[in-house]
Structure 1
Amino acid sequence: MSAIHDLIAQVSDPRLRERLAAEWASASKEKKFGLVFEDHLPERLPLPKARPRRGDLVCRRAGPLKDVWRVLRVRDGVATCVRPGAEPHATQTNPSATETVDMAVDELLVVREFGEPIFPSLVPMDAVQNGDPAGPWHTLIEADNYHALQLLDYLYAGRVDCIYIDPPYNTGARDWKYNNDYVDANDQWRHSKWLAMMQRRLRLAKKLLNPADSVLIVTIDEHEVHHLGMLLEQEFPEAQVQMVTSVINHSGVARAKAFYRADEYLFFVFLGAAAVVPNGRDMLNEAEPGTDTRIDIWNRLLRRGTGARRQDSPNLFYAFWVDPVARRIHSVGDPIPLGQSRESVAPPAPGLVACWPIRSDGTEGRWQISAETARKGLAEGTVRLGAYTRTRERWSISYLRNAEKERIQRGEIEVLGRDENGALILRFAEDVQRVKNPVTVWNQRSHNAGAGGSNLLRALLPGRRFPFPKSLYAVEDALRFFVANKPEALIVDFFAGSGTTAHAVLRLNREDGGRRRCILVTNNEVSAEDAASLREQGFQPGDPEWDAYGICRQITFPRLRAAITGKTDDGQAVKGEYKFNLTYPIAEGFAANLAYFKLDFLDPERVSLRRAFREILPLLWLKAGAVGPRPELARNEPEPVLFAPEGSNFVVLLDETRMGRLLQAIGGRTGLSHVFIVTDADESFKTMAQEVRDAAGRGNPGLQVVQLYRDYLLNFMINQGGAK
């Protein structure tokens, strides 16, 4: 149900309620233009293992998530509940003030509504260590991605270089759920539910991206491509948004009475200075051996694209006077008024012919630079005569842009001398190569979802199935264009699926020795077929038998474990080899580490009373960059006054009265990135933070001092607005 329908349903006057419903139905039919969609009720997250407590939102385990109640009290295994919104009329001591219902606690499922304040923690589930333990760790988080994004906002706001996501395509084939119900082709709110779901997540994701230089990559197919394009334009008005078409199945997927689908789409959202890093492939054609992919240093002087007509810039319409016998530019003429015919202009000397800015369709255009700048360029050798086109009976003019002139100053382009007409003779320096940017249609055999996706996954996870995995090499290509020159890049995928994005980052790091780090988020959803089978056996969500069949535990983590170690679950070497770019056996694995966590929620009272350090500790490790082995407290070890494990890049002071111990612990220590201090006194914290920086000295550049608990609580209280 959409938000407006929920509000209409709350109107007590039946006649007014009916009139409002009729008016809204009429208005809805007329809303055809632009991106107009229903803002649906906030999504809800079931917490199968949570025991209902006073104030919790609950539903019946056998019922739908949208049929919710608020718990007024729990006594002797029975919960007294009331409909949300009726709480002010009922109290724990007098619940009969409004309609209530008693339900057995065991029949109830605790529900967390998106938008409620959350206090997350991470429960360690597993890990793979196959690289330097002191190096960076990739991270897999089993969670609903909305709350995980809130957590990541606390950890990495403004620090992410690239987000790559492959959201549900909303095909109508029950490929995703909204409020725990499958959204199929018969759902009249199918598109608006999808847009509402995506909008909430994109708004949180935007906070993660570095506004100065980062990119968001979203893949999609024809079902939501147009809606998604408008949504991205709406949510990222300051960014450049570009769409690429990518062939992923050269045979095509059958569409009854329609063209077979062979492609999907990628939206690239460029923030700040983000730009494509060309790699010599145009992505449309398979590169031939020895193909020269470098671009020409010289550029055409004739303006193309928008603003290219004579009337758009009359002062840039003038003639180059060419000596056709000597094949050189004799001189540069003056601009002529907009109403004057070019045929009326006489040559400055006999035998010269005019080269005007004439477009390919024969209409009058304009040059890129002024006549004065052209004369200066002609004298310094940065403007030259180009080729003569016989069919059009005209010459072309080339010039060097400021960008090329700057590269000459930097030594990236070498000046070898001048030609007979005075133009500079140039070449790229031997250690510099500039190549063409790829085009917006990608047609690469390596992007085939069968060979690079399904077949590879079967080799890593024999006997397991996953629908429509991405080609590893398609994801690798998309990432490489933006992180090739960022060896320390932080990459996030919050629709992780089978884990292809992290697998691609592993390959990129192997290729150039990078230390890029990937954070994956995926739920542990069980397929519809497995869910039906498990229910027949008497299992339900939250049971170990049920969770073992979830995507994160059945596919994502095992796939990455096999990729890193080069071994299948039964210890056998993975068969086959990677057949793209660098070729090597899959069994070689990767020198990498991966930590696997499950998102959990804390009682805010425990956090405010500072009794949740053990649960928050993994968050501090991640906030400090997930570098080195993750420090832990022993099972029965009490919370310390000062937590300063050897070799860790962060330190925690849990008792502000022991400031001396903290200063002693960090004195002479290097490699620290974070110091966390537990205190509620803002002014005292400022003083302590300065003392810490002074004690840390120059051996810890960029050290961050964080006010723990207060910082944590305020962040997630504020985040309750994120679902709007």
Structure 2
Amino acid sequence: MSAIHDLIAQVTDPRLRERLAAEWASASKEKKFGLVFEDHLPERLPLPKTRPRRGDLVCRRAGPLKDVWRVLRVRDGIATCIRPGSEPHSTQTNPPATETVDLAVDELLVVREFGEPIFPSLVPVDAVQNGDPAGPWHVLIEADNYHALQLLDYLYAGRVDCIYIDPPYNTGARDWKYNNDYVDANDQWRHSKWLAFMEKRLKLAKRLLKADTGVLIVTIDEHEVHHLGMLLERLFPDWARQTVTVVINAKGVAQGRFARAEEYALYCFAPGAGTVPHHDDLLNPEREGKRFTTPRWEWLLRGGTNSRREDRPGLFYPIFVEPETRRITGVGEPLPLPQVPDLTAHAPRSVAWPIRTDGSWGNWRVGPNSLRALIDQGFVKLGGYDEQRGTWTVLYLGEKARRQIEEGAIEVVARDAATGAVEVRYTEREQRFPKTVWHRPLHDSGIYGSALLKSILGEGGRFSFPKSLYSTRDAVAAVVRDRPQALILDFFAGSGTTLHAVNLLNAADGGRRRCILVTNNEVSAEEAEAMRARGLQPGDDEWEAQGICRSVTWPRSKYTILGRRDDGSVLEGEYLTGKTVERDKPRRFRHIDFIDPAALTTAAKKQLVALIDGLPQTLVTEPCPHIVSEDHTVSVLFDPAAADDWLQALEGQAHISALVIVAPTKRQFDQLKAQVNELLGPLKVTEEEKRPMREGFAANLAYFKLDFLDPERVSLRRAFREILPLLWLKAGAVGPRPELRRNEPEPALFAPEGSNFVVLLDETRMGRLLQAISGRTGLSHVFIVTDADESFKTMAQEVRDAAGRGNPGLQVVQLYRDYLLNFMINQGGAK
């Protein structure tokens, strides 16, 4: 027996001894070594705008949240209250006398204690629509996140792909509250309170994630990272866990010792979840060079030597084109040398001839039969129509690229339905998994967090330590890049970075991922003090307007979706999408005319090369009329007399971006420059695609405030209007949200046009329901209001039979029983 058991045995009061023994037994059973913390007082939530009713828990507005009373009755503006736990029970014949107190209703604040049964509803506040009205909607919920999680458990239990949260870091800087009081560095229980606070929420969060493929991401810094890791080990024992170090400020923040430059992202992976390979591993330098860009499509028009028609007469033939679809429809036979093609014999732009940049006749790189075979394989496509030459630019995959396809270095990922041309990429770009250390300039929280937020909201965009948009995007994309329909939740939404990041990810890859944000509407400690000095208090309109959700989260989300602010001013700047694109870029040419080519000795050539960035002198090995290297992007022509050999060596070297030409005259330099451009075509540069912020995003967002319903109204089935938004969310938040107008009576059957759910409020009208869903498609949910369990089973089967195959996966839900039971059970959900 341990010392604690000896001490308990010495307690003389039997009831106290029994309670102590039970508490110790519970603690020793549930608390593992290494992570012991107090559960603390139950968390409580003040509701400043709610009028006290019988049964409510209340405190004085000017008093502490922990000093609570239970309302027995309300009469003439006076509430008669009693201490919780001493209420008389209806089963008692002669209940003992209890102390009551009469308090003015206006001086009371209604309190919800975490763990009490709640009956939530969502009150619509605002909405912004900039995407397909029939498409999915993001959701912003202004609420305490604990009760919001209880609500979401009813709506989306086991359906969330990824939860990303950035909780309070508990630095001691009064950045979060426990029971309505700021927790600062002087609170000796602050770590314990933080763990109790997080445990309640993470338990609910786990129930929301998909059991097989869900992923939890929690960002944190050094103040709680180790405590959090142990808590996650306790709550997610069967899930894989990894910690990612993210450099968020490469300069570092001086703290008297080491300058801190990082924070952490703790990942918990369900058994079937993992990360998605990407071309960027977020640590090592981006791989450069032609092997890691999009494979090169070469000009079919020959350049350099043997590029005139008379040099290769058998390669002068027409290629027929369908201009509207840009499809190659056929390949003609070579035209004998004496004949001149009739450029007016075919419809405009319907034929391509090998015409050089100077307007003279040229030739193609391959013969007609070979070209036909390449077209069948999808290895030929049209470029642009060149007005100056009066013909199309024709592109093809050269011999090297085709060999790399056979070897697996290049893969075919798609084929254009209209033209038949393939889309190709280097497989090496897809073989990199994100590392556990991330070091990217885009993750800087100052530039792409605070400064970005300020550029969107102006001076009103003050918010402490917003995340970098791109670090949040990369954190979420690492696990949902291959899930275009993913559901993502952030219940510490703060400034709304997560929704912003999801919209950016969707815009880059065409995904339809949906995001749910939850945040309270608290004001900072400094703002609260200033407003109290002016006589304002929580619940006042001016106070609420300064809260996080209404002054930061909502406007940021709205403005970035629309690409403009409420005053009509557009958002300036560009996003980096994370998607690479190819762009044409002119090659750089440098004319060296102050040296006589005949006077260039080996030593002089090396001296010249020493002046060129990117070229080593070791490349000068005599005889050396020119330098062309597959390992370097600069080429040098020392002797214009060797131009033909130089051009032949340049053929296919598309990676060459800079060329130095030694030529005595500008005319000779210009001729060589034109030949190089004709030979190599435009330089293809792979760079990150940018998206103007003013374009906004094709997205929809609904904004709600969490409210609580009177249980009696729910049990009497009188709350349909209030819970209607919940039914829309439960059905996937797809399409316009249907509403029941305030003065409109509740119908027997609610079946709005275009909605994916139907509600039967009067079970005697079952025939109308079956008629309404017969032949209808796209339904996901049917809600039936009934208390008769056996009848519900029968009706549910009739509904499925009537819905037929046009509504696969249809769910039939029993209201209000389903709603009531869920929240009655939920009262112990996170203890």
Quote the Cα distance in structure 1 between the aligned partners of 2:289 and 2:280.
12
- Residues 528-575 of structure 1, C-alpha deviations (whole Å, 9 max, x = no match): 111112112211111111111110000000000010011123220011
Cα shift at 1:14: 14
Structure 2, unaligned stretches of length 5 or more? 1-7, 294-402, 414-424, 579-688
Structure 1, unaligned stretches of length 5 or more? 1-7, 295-412, 417-424
Partner of 2:572: 575
Q: Is the 2:79–2:102 Cα contact (8 Å) retained in structure 1?
A: yes
Partner of 1:231: 231
Mapping of residues 154-303 of structure 1, within 5 Å = 154-255=154-255, 257-290=256-289
Amino acid in structure 1 at the alignment position of 2:450: S
Partner of 1:408: none
Q: 2:822 aligns with which of 711, 715, 718?
A: 715
Cα shift at 1:74: 2.1
Quote the Cα distance in structure 2 between the aligned partners of 1:481 and 1:619.
30
| Structure 1 position 71 matched with structure 2 position 178 | no
Classify 1:414/1:596 alpha carbon distance in 2 versus 1 (closer, same or farther; 3 Å): same
| Structure 1 position 486 matched with structure 2 position 483 | yes
Classify 1:716/1:293 alpha carbon distance in 2 versus 1 (closer, same or farther; 3 Å): farther
Quote the Cα distance in structure 1 between the aligned partners of 2:769 and 2:15.
69
Quote the Cα distance in structure 2 between the aligned partners of 1:176 and 1:227.
17
Q: Is the 2:405–2:411 Cα contact (8 Å) retained in structure 1?
A: no
Amino acid in structure 2 at the alignment position of 1:249: N
Quote the Cα distance in structure 2 between the aligned partners of 1:82 and 1:13.
28
Partner of 2:458: 462
Partner of 2:562: 565
* Higher alpha-carbon Rg: 2
Q: Is the 1:281–1:293 Cα contact (8 Å) retained in structure 2?
A: no
Partner of 2:783: 676
Q: Is the 1:129–1:592 Cα contact (8 Å) retained in structure 2?
A: yes
Quote the Cα distance in structure 2 between the aligned partners of 1:593 and 1:687.
38
Partner of 1:600: 707
Quote the Cα distance in structure 1 between the aligned partners of 2:471 and 2:570.
25
Partner of 1:550: 547
Q: Is the 2:508–2:577 Cα contact (8 Å) retained in structure 1?
A: no
Partner of 1:527: 524
Quote the Cα distance in structure 2 between the aligned partners of 1:291 and 1:470.
34
Cα shift at 1:41: 2.0
- Residues 585-608 of structure 1, C-alpha deviations (whole Å, 9 max, x = no match): 111101110000000000011011
Quote the Cα distance in structure 2 between the aligned partners of 1:426 and 1:131.
39
Amino acid in structure 2 at the alignment position of 1:623: K
Q: Is the 2:88–2:96 Cα contact (8 Å) retained in structure 1?
A: no
Amino acid in structure 1 at the alignment position of 2:703: Y
Q: Secondary structure at the match of 1:284?
A: coil
Q: Is the 1:461–1:569 Cα contact (8 Å) retained in structure 2?
A: no
Quote the Cα distance in structure 1 between the aligned partners of 2:773 and 2:454.
49
Q: 1:687 aligns with which of 782, 794, 797?
A: 794
Q: How many residues align?
A: 582
Partner of 1:613: 720
Q: Is the 2:577–2:691 Cα contact (8 Å) retained in structure 1?
A: no
Classify 1:32/1:601 alpha carbon distance in 2 versus 1 (closer, same or farther; 3 Å): closer
Cα shift at 1:291: 7.7
Classify 1:680/1:438 alpha carbon distance in 2 versus 1 (closer, same or farther; 3 Å): same
Q: Secondary structure at the match of 1:629?
A: coil
Q: 1:474 aligns with which of 459, 471, 494?
A: 471
Partner of 1:635: 742
Q: Is the 1:503–1:563 Cα contact (8 Å) retained in structure 2?
A: yes
Q: Secondary structure at the match of 2:459?
A: coil
Q: Is the 1:656–1:678 Cα contact (8 Å) retained in structure 2?
A: yes
Cα shift at 1:82: 2.0
Q: Is the 1:219–1:264 Cα contact (8 Å) retained in structure 2?
A: yes
Q: Secondary structure at the match of 2:241?
A: strand
Quote the Cα distance in structure 1 between the aligned partners of 2:100 and 2:92.
11
Classify 1:154/1:462 alpha carbon distance in 2 versus 1 (closer, same or farther; 3 Å): same
Partner of 1:512: 509
Q: Is the 2:559–2:566 Cα contact (8 Å) retained in structure 1?
A: yes
Partner of 1:698: 805
Quote the Cα distance in structure 2 between the aligned partners of 1:69 and 1:286.
62
Amino acid in structure 1 at the alignment position of 2:773: I
Amino acid in structure 1 at the alignment position of 2:285: E
Q: Is the 1:293–1:436 Cα contact (8 Å) retained in structure 2?
A: no
Q: Is the 1:90–1:96 Cα contact (8 Å) retained in structure 2?
A: no
Q: Is the 1:89–1:97 Cα contact (8 Å) retained in structure 2?
A: no
Q: Is the 2:59–2:108 Cα contact (8 Å) retained in structure 1?
A: yes
Partner of 2:698: 591
Classify 1:14/1:682 alpha carbon distance in 2 versus 1 (closer, same or farther; 3 Å): closer
Partner of 2:686: none
Q: Is the 1:137–1:628 Cα contact (8 Å) retained in structure 2?
A: yes
Classify 1:95/1:107 alpha carbon distance in 2 versus 1 (closer, same or farther; 3 Å): farther
Quote the Cα distance in structure 2 between the aligned partners of 1:282 and 1:686.
52
- Residues 176-211 of structure 1, C-alpha deviations (whole Å, 9 max, x = no match): 000000000111110111001110100000010001
Q: Is the 2:489–2:517 Cα contact (8 Å) retained in structure 1?
A: yes
Partner of 1:397: none
Classify 1:250/1:609 alpha carbon distance in 2 versus 1 (closer, same or farther; 3 Å): same
Cα shift at 1:293: 7.2
Classify 1:524/1:642 alpha carbon distance in 2 versus 1 (closer, same or farther; 3 Å): same
Quote the Cα distance in structure 2 between the aligned partners of 1:204 and 1:436.
34
Quote the Cα distance in structure 2 between the aligned partners of 1:271 and 1:702.
24
Q: Secondary structure at the match of 1:174?
A: strand
Q: 1:450 aligns with which of 432, 446, 451?
A: 446
Quote the Cα distance in structure 2 between the aligned partners of 1:644 and 1:599.
25
Amino acid in structure 2 at the alignment position of 1:535: R
Cα shift at 1:100: 2.5
Quote the Cα distance in structure 2 between the aligned partners of 1:493 and 1:670.
32
Quote the Cα distance in structure 2 between the aligned partners of 1:692 and 1:525.
45
Partner of 2:534: 537
Kindly, what percent of the aligned residue pairs are identical?
76
Amino acid in structure 1 at the alignment position of 2:811: Q
- Residues 64-104 of structure 1, C-alpha deviations (whole Å, 9 max, x = no match): 11111112222222222222222248999999812222211
| Structure 1 position 651 matched with structure 2 position 648 | no
Partner of 1:439: 435
User: Which is worse superposed, 533-542 or 215-224?
Assistant: 533-542
Amino acid in structure 2 at the alignment position of 1:644: A
Q: Secondary structure at the match of 1:461?
A: helix
Quote the Cα distance in structure 2 between the aligned partners of 1:93 and 1:544.
48
Amino acid in structure 2 at the alignment position of 1:668: G
Amino acid in structure 1 at the alignment position of 2:444: N
Cα shift at 1:33: 4.9
Amino acid in structure 1 at the alignment position of 2:257: A
Cα shift at 1:114: 0.3
Classify 1:91/1:177 alpha carbon distance in 2 versus 1 (closer, same or farther; 3 Å): farther
Mapping of residues 656-667 of structure 1, within 5 Å = 656-667=763-774
- Residues 253-280 of structure 1, C-alpha deviations (whole Å, 9 max, x = no match): 231x221111000001000211110112
Quote the Cα distance in structure 2 between the aligned partners of 1:463 and 1:426.
53
With the length of structure 1 as denominator, give the TM-score of the two structures: 0.77
- Residues 314-343 of structure 1, C-alpha deviations (whole Å, 9 max, x = no match): xxxxxxxxxxxxxxxxxxxxxxxxxxxxxx
Classify 1:585/1:656 alpha carbon distance in 2 versus 1 (closer, same or farther; 3 Å): same
With the length of structure 2 as denominator, give the TM-score of the two structures: 0.67
Cα shift at 1:106: 0.8
Q: Is the 1:446–1:580 Cα contact (8 Å) retained in structure 2?
A: no
Q: Secondary structure at the match of 1:462?
A: helix
Q: Secondary structure at the match of 1:163?
A: strand
Quote the Cα distance in structure 2 between the aligned partners of 1:514 and 1:12.
67
Partner of 2:622: none
Amino acid in structure 2 at the alignment position of 1:703: L
Mapping of residues 108-119 of structure 1, within 5 Å = 108-119=108-119
Cα shift at 1:289: 2.9
Q: Is the 1:91–1:97 Cα contact (8 Å) retained in structure 2?
A: no
Cα shift at 1:12: 13
Q: Is the 2:504–2:577 Cα contact (8 Å) retained in structure 1?
A: no
Cα shift at 1:226: 0.1
Quote the Cα distance in structure 2 between the aligned partners of 1:550 and 1:95.
46
Classify 1:259/1:675 alpha carbon distance in 2 versus 1 (closer, same or farther; 3 Å): same
Q: Is the 1:66–1:179 Cα contact (8 Å) retained in structure 2?
A: yes
Q: Secondary structure at the match of 1:605?
A: helix
Partner of 1:304: none
